[in-house]
Amino acid sequence: MFKKDQLVVYPAQGVGRIEAIKETEVGGIKAKFYEIRILNNNGKLLVPVNNAKNVGLRSICDPDYGLKILESMHDRSDFKGYTGQNWNRRYREYTEKLKTGDLADVAYVLKELILISREKELSFGEKRLMDQAMYLITSELAFALNKDPEDIKAEIEDIFSDILKKNNNNS
């Protein structure tokens, strides 16, 4: 069970803080809810305590895991490539991975999209997914590693500097 003021990660939304744990009646049934404030947009979520694990609510990753995620960005061996694959199929796959809330899945999506951008210009939807994945990773790792999100973003951009510089020159 999470505690008040604890930082948590809500899949596809990012880092939030538990502001309260309260009992509320919904449809004639009393249930406990986590009241979570999402930090990047100040949005508020109510997550049933009984269902928190099922929706993917979890604690911020530990620093060692955060460093492993950053290190995994260097490994390009799992890159499937664009290979003319249908964008709709990729979009669904990437969206599902972002919804899992698993930081390794989010890193995979970010890495794939950056590497695909080496072969072709990303569509608007692809760029939006890439921005979302970048935000999800940088915000969580900033808390896990006690760094500024912009510093984490700069580290990731440095890992892919060969591709990102090429893309900026082609714009």
Q: Are residues 77 and 116 in the same domain?
A: yes
Cα separation, 140 vs 11, in Å, equals 11
State the CATH number of the domain containing residue 128: 1.20.58.1290
Q: Are residues 50 and 109 in the same domain?
A: no
Q: What value does the mean pLDDT take over residues 90-119?
A: 91
State the CATH number of the domain containing residue 33: 2.40.10.170
Q: What value does the mean pLDDT take over residues 69-90?
A: 79
Q: Are residues 34 and 100 in the same domain?
A: no
pLDDT at residue 83 greater than cutoff 90:
no
Q: Are residues 45 and 88 in the same domain?
A: no
The amino acid sitting at 163 is I
Q: Are residues 80 and 37 in the same domain?
A: no
Q: What value does the mean pLDDT take over residues 54-72?
A: 95
Q: Give the number of domains in the chain.
A: 2
In this prediction, residue 146 carries a pLDDT of: 96
In this prediction, residue 108 carries a pLDDT of: 93
In this prediction, residue 121 carries a pLDDT of: 86
Q: Per the domain annotation, does 55 fall within a domain?
A: yes
Q: Per the domain annotation, does 1 fall within a domain?
A: no
CA dist 98 → 107, 148, 152 (Å): 9, 22, 19
Q: Are residues 119 and 52 in the same domain?
A: no
pLDDT at residue 53 greater than cutoff 70:
yes
Q: Are residues 39 and 71 in the same domain?
A: no
In this prediction, residue 90 carries a pLDDT of: 84
Mean of per-residue pLDDT scores for the chain = 89
In this prediction, residue 170 carries a pLDDT of: 56
Cα separation, 3 vs 40, in Å, equals 20
Q: Per the domain annotation, does 73 fall within a domain?
A: yes
Q: Are residues 89 and 47 in the same domain?
A: no
Q: Are residues 72 and 139 in the same domain?
A: yes
Cα separation, 120 vs 74, in Å, equals 20
Residue the block writes with tokens 């460093």 = 67
Q: Are residues 160 and 95 in the same domain?
A: yes
The answer to which of 36-40, 147-151, 158-162 has the lowest mean pLDDT is 158-162
Q: Are residues 143 and 161 in the same domain?
A: yes
Q: Per the domain annotation, does 53 fall within a domain?
A: yes
Q: Are residues 81 and 55 in the same domain?
A: no
pLDDT at residue 23 greater than cutoff 60:
yes
What's the DSSP call for residue 4? Answer: T
Q: What value does the mean pLDDT take over residues 81-108?
A: 85
The pTM of this model reads 0.87
Domain region containing 21: 7-59
